[in-house]
Structure 1
């Protein structure tokens, strides 16, 4: 299982904002801190706002902050909202499946079980769990 860069950026942005929750954060500052594209983060920020994870404050002193407590933001939920699909193999998509061994192959069932276990593990954790790591706080906290 591999997450897209989009999901990676979404999680990094959320961790940064959670650790710096006492103030508004800017997209530019987050992009600079991680050395990643501001343009990519703008799209991520927009989508995270639509999904209700963050809220944006416009204006000269604007920025972004969490829309709810970090303990109420599940990692599995974030991944489900940022990944386009979880079609690990062709036969996961019945509308485009051309695999000649579908229905006789155990691979799809095994991969589906593995995906379920993967998501079940992610569902055990929240953004608060990620943001509570002491070493991470030292790396991401801005005075």
Structure 2
């Protein structure tokens, strides 16, 4: 299974905010650190705000920050929300796709089981597990921020 770029960026934004330890960051800062398109990251940030993981403050001293403690943000729940709109294979699309094997195929059921196992495994992980409980991550993210400010 491959995560969408949207999900990848959502996880990166959350990791940066967790490492910022309550300090605001801007979407532009995070985009620059990852050489990511600002407009795409802005859409990701909007989704995270709408989902309640992030708060956004407008204005000159505005920015984004976590709306919840890192321990309260479940990675599996988040990834399931973001990735449930994408079918692993054509026959799992809401319209059923056009695969001729669908009526008798056992693959779709096996893939559904595998996908659920993937999400279930991620439900054991919180944002804190990825960041604050990982001693090297805050330092690495801090270095990325420092490097981006020099450029």
Cα-to-partner distance string for 1:54-108 (whole Å, 9 max, x where unaligned): 0001121111011111111111122123235241112213523332222322111
When normalised by structure 2's length, the TM-score is 0.86
Alignment-derived partner of residue 70 in structure 1: 70
Distance between the aligned counterparts of 2:36 and 2:97, measured in 1?
A: 36
Alignment-derived partner of residue 7 in structure 1: 7
- Unaligned 5+ runs, structure 1: none
Count residues with an aligned counterpart.
Answer: 143
Distance between the aligned counterparts of 2:97 and 2:104, measured in 1?
A: 14
CA RMSD of aligned residues (A): 1.7
Distance between the aligned counterparts of 2:121 and 2:112, measured in 1?
A: 14
- Runs of 4+, deviation exceeding 6 Å: none
- Unaligned 5+ runs, structure 2: 147-151
Alignment map for 1:29-108 (pairs within 5 Å): 29-83=29-83, 85-93=85-93, 95-108=95-108
Distance between the aligned counterparts of 1:79 and 1:94, measured in 2?
A: 19
Alignment-derived partner of residue 130 in structure 2: 130
